[in-house]
Amino acid sequence: MRFDWRQADGSASGRVVYVVDGATAHVEAWLERPGERPLAVVERAAPAPVPGRDLRYEGLWLSVVEEGPGHWSVGLEAMGLLLDDPGDELGEPCPLGLDLGWDLDDGSVAGEVLAGPHVVIRVDGTGSISVD
């Protein structure tokens, strides 16, 4: 699944990708802000959680819950990397946390994103969910 969001004023955007393939889970989380380095969490080989349970693996916690028809929540706490370029694989360690809710009825996303020790983004924007 892919969860995309964008602040209404364009000051921040991001996405969370979560794919379970057999015994392995793939997780990506991105935060992008104009004029700032992108912040990424990428884990390609976490053990898949038991169905209905959160993913917990080596400094990564992810919760994806369908709260009701068209309503999803995503929570994440992980150590990410501030990258000089989105294609980089090495960067400066930086924590990323989020607690966001998607309402597909009106395309809204609301919640909070934390980046590092001092950045708090109160999200009130738009978003989408896609299933691949």
pLDDT over threshold 80, residue 17: yes
Query: What pLDDT sits at residue 113?
Result: 98
Q: Which residues contact 39 (CB under 8 A, 6 or more apart)?
A: 30, 31, 32, 80, 81, 82, 83, 94, 96, 115
Confidence (pLDDT) at 74: 98
The more confident residue out of 52 and 132 is: 52
- When pLDDT is averaged across residues 33-59 and rounded to a whole number, the result is 93
Q: What is the mean pLDDT of residues 23-36?
A: 96
pLDDT at 9: 96
**What is the per-residue pLDDT across 90-129, written as a single tens digit (0 to 9) for each?**
899 999 999 999 999 999 999 999 999 899 999 999 999 9
**Distinct helix (H) and strand (E) counts, the chain:** 0, 10
Percent of the chain with pLDDT over 70: 99
Longest CA–CA separation in the chain, Å: 40
Predicted TM-score (pTM) of this structure: 0.93
Give the pLDDT confidence score for residue 37 in this predicted structure.
94
Residue 87: its pLDDT value, please? 82
